[in-house]
Structure 1
Amino acid sequence: MQDLDTLRYPIGDFVYGQSYTADDTRQHIAIIQELPVKLTELVGKWGDDRLDTPYRPNGWTVRQLVHHVADSHMNAYVRTKLALTETNPTISPYEEGEWAKLPDSKLDIGPSLVLLRSLHLRWVTILESLTEADLQRTYFHPGNQRTFAVREVIALYAWHSEHHYQHAYRLAERNGWA
């Protein structure tokens, strides 16, 4: 069994405050764009037994993870639009762990996979159109007590996409499902 830190952070933790080039940002957008198809190809046909398997001890099930990614990326999409249309807005944090306990986290994953495909189409359309000035626009996160530039938000959600994809992928590898 792998150690819990590796199971929790299979690609490492996100490092805040980094600098990103235009090429980095294009790569991050590509990762965001690819996630819905990758995730659907991996877990889209899994049965309840696999979907209800936690990716680590005391962790979320794959079902909760898929719904969480949809919830999280909806919030990120709205936060991106707020940053692009307002001056350093204060965004609303949410309790992701509590959201994962709500009844919709027990639904079939199909609606969340469809939502991710549509949401990412809209989000990536915006992201690909951003100018350098747009990438420097910001929002304030009161939970973290920090200001995020859109460029860093793109990097964060590219990381988030791969982070959660790897949770499911490595679970599949460990159990011989891949």
Structure 2
Amino acid sequence: MTNEEFHLLKYPIGELNIPQNSTSQQISEWINEIEQFPEAVVALTKNLSNEQLNWIYRPEGWTIKQVVHHCSDSHMNSLIRFKLALTEDMPTIKPYYEDRWAKLVDGNSNDLNYSLMLLKGLHAKLVILLRSLTPNDLKRQYIHPEHGKRFSLEQTIYIYAWHSKHHLAHIKQALKHKGEF
């Protein structure tokens, strides 16, 4: 496998490229994508066997079940980041080792029900919050110490819309290739 082929498997929708400016229409579209994500995951995974849940989306990549569990973990952190930025002045968020979390017992369970319930609840709460944001709220920021950068809530909405599509593409990719690379 070439580096280019590996890169396409790792980033099937392209790498994250955060826009510096966006329109209210774009923000609304991103929020809609975030809202639809849990049901899209359910639709893709509801009839999968344990064998299929263990298919990987690329060489050395996570299994389908790890991707689903990761999304609930990641989006739980997302909701917290939004709330911190809305209630504190330029908070520094806490990063976490997602690769280590994916190896924990709950990240390897064949039972997706709890992570899917969590995703549904998180996204419902998140969408209510996101749709209430004012233009000033969208400019509020937090500091991500891992990157040494500030991120606005406007940018963060985009990041999680991209993240949702990115991992949906991973699940589809694993299913397409039946976990064989």
Is 1:130 aligned to 2:133, yes or no?
yes
Q: Please, what TM-score do these two structures have when normalized by structure 2?
A: 0.94
Partner of residue 115, structure 1: 118
Partner of residue 170, structure 2: 167
- Displacement after TM superposition at 1:110 (Å): 1.1
Q: How does 1:4-153 map to 2 (within 5 A)?
A: 4-107=6-109, 108-153=111-156
Unpaired runs of 5+ residues, structure 2, are none
The one-letter amino acid paired with 1:152 is Q
Summarize deviations over 1:62-90 as a string: whole Å, max 9, x none.
Answer: 01100000000000000000001111100
The one-letter amino acid paired with 1:130 is L
**How far apart in 2 are the matches of 1:35 and 1:17?**
21
SS in 2 for 1:147: strand
**How far apart in 2 are the matches of 1:137 and 1:117?**
26
SS in 2 for 1:18: coil
Q: Kindly indicate whether the alpha-carbon contact (under 8 Å) linking 2:70 and 2:98 is maintained by their aligned counterparts in 1.
A: yes
Extract structure 1 runs of 4+ deviating beyond 3 A.
Answer: none
Q: Please, what TM-score do these two structures have when normalized by structure 1?
A: 0.95
Identity among equivalent positions (%) equals: 42
Summarize deviations over 1:37-67 as a string: whole Å, max 9, x none.
Answer: 0010011221110101111111000011000
**How far apart in 1 are the matches of 2:100 and 2:61?**
13
Q: Kindly indicate whether the alpha-carbon contact (under 8 Å) linking 1:25 and 1:155 is maintained by their aligned counterparts in 2.
A: yes
CA RMSD of aligned residues (A): 1.4
**How far apart in 2 are the matches of 1:52 and 1:86?**
41
- Displacement after TM superposition at 1:97 (Å): 0.4
- Displacement after TM superposition at 1:169 (Å): 1.2
Is 1:158 aligned to 2:161, yes or no?
yes
SS in 2 for 1:140: strand
Q: Kindly indicate whether the alpha-carbon contact (under 8 Å) linking 1:44 and 1:110 is maintained by their aligned counterparts in 2.
A: no
**How far apart in 2 are the matches of 1:87 and 1:130?**
16
**How far apart in 2 are the matches of 1:53 and 1:153?**
30
